[in-house]
Structure formats: C-alpha cells, structure tokens
Amino acid sequence: MQTLPKPSFLNGYWQNSFNLKQHIQEFLNIDAETLETKLQSSQQQMAELGYKDFDWEKATAFYRDKVRESYLFELGAWHLTSQDYIGDTLRLVADYSQGRVLDFGGGIGTHAIGAALCPQVEQVIYCDINPINRDFVKYRAEKLGLNEKITFCLEIPPQVNFDTIISFDVLEHLPDPSLQLIKFHELLSNEGKIILNWCFFKGFNQEYPFHVDDPQVVEQFFKILQTKYLELFQPYNITARCYRKWR
C-alpha cells in the first residue's frame, strides 16, 4: 500500500499528537496514572452523563456547563487511539485550508493547531461553547507558540467571513444541524472551502445519547447540503468531506 505524504509542518502530530497527553496532565494538574484511568473510562462516563442530564431543549447548557473536563478525557482518548485516522483528517485540512479559518466546536484543539501550522493560513478562529475546552486550547496554543495565530471565542464573531471552515464531530450535537449549514454558507467566502463530518447515530448500544438521529432532521440536513454545496474529491479513507459553495 502506498504511504501518503505527511506535510513536514505537521510532524509534531505524528510524534506525540502535538503533546496532547502532556498538555492534559499539566492543564488539569493530575499525575500520569490518574490521566490513564480517566482516559480509559471517559466514553462510559460521558454516556452516563448524557443519560442523566442531557435534554435537547437545554443542549447548549449541557455542553457549556455540565460536561466540564469530562469531554477533554473523551476527546483525548479518541485522538490518542485514532492517530492515523485523525492524521488523515489533518492532511485534508492542510490540503484546503487558507486565509482565515473557522474551527467551529473545536474541542481539544487538534484541528485548530493543525490549521494554524499550515503556511497558507493567516488566522484560525477557534469557537467552542465549553469554557474548559477554550482554556485548554489556549494553554496548548501558548505551549506550541501559536497563541498569536489562534483567536478564541464563545460564538462566531459577527460580520466576519472565512476562507475555510472546519467542523468535526459537532453537527450531530445540534438540534437542527441544517440551520448551521445555512449559517456556514453565509460565512464562507465565494471561493472558500468547508470541511465537515457528522455522525447522526446514537450508537449500537446507545452510547451516544446526545447525538441527533431524528430521520426528518437528518433528511433536511442532506437536502440543504446537496442544495448549497458541491463536494470536492479527497483521497483519504475518513468520514470528513470537503465542499465549496454551489449556490
């Protein structure tokens, strides 16, 4: 099998996931053994939190106030055990990102960091409603010398257009993801690119109780996607897709 090229500016990802483990441990001031325990139990803890506290009418408050550092552990575990998959996602980001980039729902910051390292990117605006996520990624950016290239916000800044929009593992957490697609379309420059993925699935064992899977909501999402965007070919075996504006 042919080995795909790895952009040299992303070497830090393949070495240690941009120092992810070290950053979590230092940011939360925990020892290595505690970190490993938290990472191993993170998915179950998030599922239990979802069963207990998640309500679509209060979804914003759930992600802003309830999940706290639990999401750092779940996302950290996923990124650390899926290095090749996320590495290919970063390759796709590197292929198309330029100018001003929006990372919507940026989580633990891996994709924002990858975008900020791209030579053709001028600025990354990282947007996430979870204050602990924002503080953590600020910490990472400072440690990696990227604090001047990444800007942090709770909401998308008004009256700002973007040359690239990235949003991974976010749309399924929204009660009406098609509305976000429309908003992205308004924010994207005429020649801009948008890179997305989604998982409208609660899991085979209902391990993702906070994912939307309503058939009508999902159908409307794909109607909007196919109406407003044209997919661009990408060669990687990942769920993320790249689009440009169509109409």
Please write the tens of the pLDDT for every residue from 42-78: 878 776 776 677 777 777 777 777 767 888 888 899 9
- What percent of the chain has pLDDT above 70? 97
Q: Is the pLDDT of residue 1 over 50?
A: no
Q: Exposed, middle or buried: residue 176 (CB in 10 Å: 0-12, 13-18, 19+)?
A: middle
Q: Which residue has the tokens 């992205």?
A: 184
Mean pLDDT rounded to a whole number for the chain: 92
| Residue 240: band (very low, low, confident or very high) from pLDDT cuts 50, 70, 90 | very high
Please write the tens of the pLDDT for every residue from 92-132: 999 999 999 999 999 999 999 999 999 999 999 999 999 99
Q: Cα 116 to the chain's mean position, in Å?
A: 14
Record the pTM. Answer: 0.93
Q: What is the pLDDT of residue 102?
A: 98
Q: Is the pLDDT of residue 2 over 60?
A: no
Q: Which domains does the chain have, with CATH numbers?
A: 83-245 (3.40.50.150)
Q: Is the pLDDT of residue 163 over 80?
A: yes
| Residue 207: band (very low, low, confident or very high) from pLDDT cuts 50, 70, 90 | confident
The neighbouring-strand residues paired with 99 are: 121
Q: What is the pLDDT of residue 63?
A: 74
C-alpha closest to that of 101 among 192, 180, 170: 192
| SS3 call for 244 | strand
Q: Which residue has the tokens 């990354």?
A: 124
Query: What gap in Å lies between CA 50 and CA 80, rounded to an integer?
Result: 23
Q: What are phi and psi of 196, to 5 degrees?
A: -135, 160
Q: Is the pLDDT of residue 22 over 60?
A: yes
